[in-house]
Structure 1
């Protein structure tokens, strides 16, 4: 190991030998500058060495991930490992400047890697010949700390080692942040996932050096025609800003053709990016990632026969639609054991809302707190809610200024009216009072 140059004794000797005359002072000053120059060069060299070692480590992880991706195309774990290393490489300004465009192309190629037919057949064959394993014991879930990524998250153990990497689809419902403590179980070998989260059990504050800061832009609206989609604002009209500057973010819908929900004009999405990404200044589109696409139901096709069409038209004419447009607000449906959940979700979608199910029968208080703080409205169906959950939901709705109303029954009209009251700031309970519900 190379010894560090100790300059303190040298400076002490120089000062002791420096006299008060002009010549001696000049010579002493020149000697001090020479010593400090040696210290600066040594410090700069040490910093460069450290940066090189870090870059080499990330390059190694990137190559290992790509090698695994070649062996197993579409492997979720290999994609996450490769993308994680690639993103960290872009933090190095020298690397980003020299290889920025190539790394961006590599990132697209990694994300578009899909499972081949041969790989699927191999997995099916391996699964067929393996003996059936007993069901997993959910009491054996281990605890891990969450490190949030732009897409998905890492689960680390007490030794700060990454044990699992999960996808955005797996963790979206938990609304996780860095520092959350979760219980998780490993998925079977045949699964595309590494592990599954059982529940959130706590949170601990992490040092800023333990995770990369992430910024979000939620409920962004996609606008434009085919091939010319872009994002400028969210559902509330707030503009997309990066470091105080409004931007127009182009969206390449072809990158998401394999997803269950396509990107079209009117789609609602969440965006996220690393706050320290060097691309934010010159090329924000390279740094910003599309984290989530919300599923918005399209109008269904009517039955084929004339008789059925007539009956359908007659039945719809009897249902009066309220004068209500939720403008893609998130609406929590607090109901127990998924009772009538599908029908109630269809009512929310009918008025252009995004339904979010909340278990009000056996729901945990901490989980309810995390869910409700992300909502715009919450409707409590008391017919299927536990008594203690009712008080918790009212408390959290008031705490986070979330629109709140109560539907005393599971009926269509009762829930629809509760939705109207919550959206318009009317009394939570209908009771015997007279409330005017405007219709279209």
Structure 2
């Protein structure tokens, strides 16, 4: 079978531009370029060979003299440009599948066909896993039960009559009731909904109900119809800081005292828990206020990659900034709880490979980098477990 190569010249040029005179930089650059060339190599299907057979016969006579001095096993090389590679229309779907539009709900959403018929509904977790927005065109396999989303054909992101306050901070007042009045970015609920605070219902307040799931300190997404903020709901609980804090306190009680020397030795050691090699890839970690930037850079460095930590709250012109900032980033990780909604949309548009870390913990960021590196789902869920290559620890 003939061997073909995708056009990776721009990426190779970016690697060369980033190199300096140090031996480490040159070594990592060589690894990165070798990795790019391996990614570029693709094989031509036998059907394509048959279709091009007639053209090859016409050219055989003219190229006979040039090939006579070449080794017999020399492979034919062709550069496939992006416009040549995209030969099929994105709107072509398999038989039995249907094109449908996604309609966002307060929680989850629905898929409708051209005739307006409801084909399927998905919950909030599925919406986040698919990273789908209102008006997006999707290919649906309606024959499976439940219906399965095959792919997102076109990202439209049409406006809807649903308003949201992402990353709202759950607080407790003097009476013991939970409420949300602002989010992690400093946006106040009164500015976007016209009400001072959202009172968390007792039925989902973990302090007032045995089945409640919202705690003080949690980060939540609120959603409501623009003409009816009184019917506001908790769309998603991103982080259970209340539970995590309680577990941390118990662990600290049982943990024996450590000396300053032991703490310094730990800080100087490995921070990685997974076993994978980035081969010099550039990783952009987008996190609010550049939190834990030194630890994140150390983590990426121990996986033999280059890291750039970006402050998600610093730039007003989000679209223009990320278009430039992600141009040389091979992988992008967004820390979900410490970002703005506009940042999420810009990253989805300009990141080459994107994964979402559900918290600022190093293990969460490390897993997200692995998913981005290997093209795995952006979100990590319990319904789709991922087998991470765990690093073997030396026994002492």
| TM-score, normalisation: structure 1 | 0.35
Q: Specify the structure having the higher radius of gyration (Cα).
A: 1
Higher relative contact order (CA 8 A, sep 6+): 2
| TM-score, normalisation: structure 2 | 0.39
More strand by share: 2
